[in-house]
C-alpha cells in the first residue's frame, strides 16, 4: 500500500483550488476506501444575473410555468439545465 502524503493546511478556497489543480489527489487520498455521502440540505451556490428577454418570450414562459404549477424563474432554470446537459452530452 502506498504511503499517502499529508494534505497541507489551506486557508482559502483559492489556495485549495490552486493546490488541487497542481497535485494528484491519489497521492493524498485512498479513493478505494472512500464512501459516497449525501448532503440533502446543501444548496448550490447561485449568482444573480440580469437577463433581457422579449416580452412575448417571458409571457410564454409564464404560461408554461403556470400550467406546470412552478414559478417561472424555476422553469427557466430547469430548461437551461436540461439544455446545457444535452449540449454537454453531445459535445463529448
pLDDT digits (tens, 9 = 90+) for 18-75: 999 999 999 999 999 999 998 888 888 889 999 999 999 999 999 999 999 999 999 9
How many domains in the chain?
1
Within-domain flag for 25: no
Within-domain flag for 75: yes
Q: How many CA atoms lie within 13 A of 76 on its CB side?
A: 13
Q: What is the extent of the structural domain holding 82?
A: 55-90
Q: Check if the beta carbon of residue 28 is closer than 8 Å to that of residue 5.
A: yes
**Looking at residue 27, what DSSP letter applies?**
G
Within-domain flag for 69: yes
Within-domain flag for 29: no
Q: Check if the beta carbon of residue 30 is closer than 8 Å to that of residue 4.
A: yes
What is the distance between the alpha carbons of residues 50 and 13, in angstroms, rounded to a whole number?
A: 26
Within-domain flag for 81: yes
The per-residue pLDDT for range 10-19, each reduced to its tens digit, is: 999 999 999 9
The model's pTM is 0.55
Amino acid at each position: 500500500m502506498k504511503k499517502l502524503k499529508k494534505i497541507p493546511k489551506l486557508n482559502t478556497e483559492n489556495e485549495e483550488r490552486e493546490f488541487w489543480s497542481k497535485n494528484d489527489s491519489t497521492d493524498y487520498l485512498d479513493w478505494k476506501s472512500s464512501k459516497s455521502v449525501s448532503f440533502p440540505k446543501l444548496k448550490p451556490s447561485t449568482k444573480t444575473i440580469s437577463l433581457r428577454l422579449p416580452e412575448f418570450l417571458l409571457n410564454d414562459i409564464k404560461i408554461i410555468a403556470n400550467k406546470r404549477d412552478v414559478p417561472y424563474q424555476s422553469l427557466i432554470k430547469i430548461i437551461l439545465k436540461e439544455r446545457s446537459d444535452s449540449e454537454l452530452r453531445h459535445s463529448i
